[in-house]
Structure 1
Amino acid sequence: MNVMTLSALAEPNRLDIVELLRDGPLPVGEIAFKLELGQPQTSKHLKVLNDAGLVEMQPAANKRIYKLRTEPLQELDQWLHSFRLIWEEKFDNLEAYLYKLQQQENDKTGK
């Protein structure tokens, strides 16, 4: 898992940009407008996202269109999946333990 991915997504405006681009490519001006950010600020955030490999830019006449790259997000999902497996096992163990306690309580009360 690339640390740059997490670092880039840690900033709220960049995370908002990624969420906007989830619906499809957008030009810088539209991203800035939708997030109520200045265009220079938006461009700086897009540069960080681009450097982290999360977005790519496609020039179209005098516009710069940005779109998400799925590979870094897939890597992040795979990394998080390993933690999901650990937690699922812990929850399964907790569920079995609680069931056992409930059965013991039912045996004591004759239910």
Structure 2
Amino acid sequence: MAANWKLNAFLGLTAFLLTYLLSYTNNMWQTSLFRAGIGFLVFFVLGYVVRLVLNKVKIKNTSSSIHEHHSVEGSNVEMESSRHEGNQWEESFQQIPLNGLHKGENT
């Protein structure tokens, strides 16, 4: 958890310095300092919010990929069992011409 606040402090400090240096040329030092403080707070809190959202997305993607992995394994097992049943699915396939499927439809 220590890396969390250190990264956010770095983001906030960067925003503080950039805001102060860019605002100092056009405003008094008190106004620049106040605006830099607001920039620090915004970026410090925004760092937590962005990482929270990214963590939720990562957890959701991880759980869905685990679910997909299990479903893929299940379908592979079903395919293996159907192969051992004498290829019934492949024997029942019949070729049908495309114009036989679309009788009466003119495009």
Normalising by the smaller structure, the TM-score range is 0.3 to 0.5
Q: In proportion to residue count, which structure has more helix?
A: 2
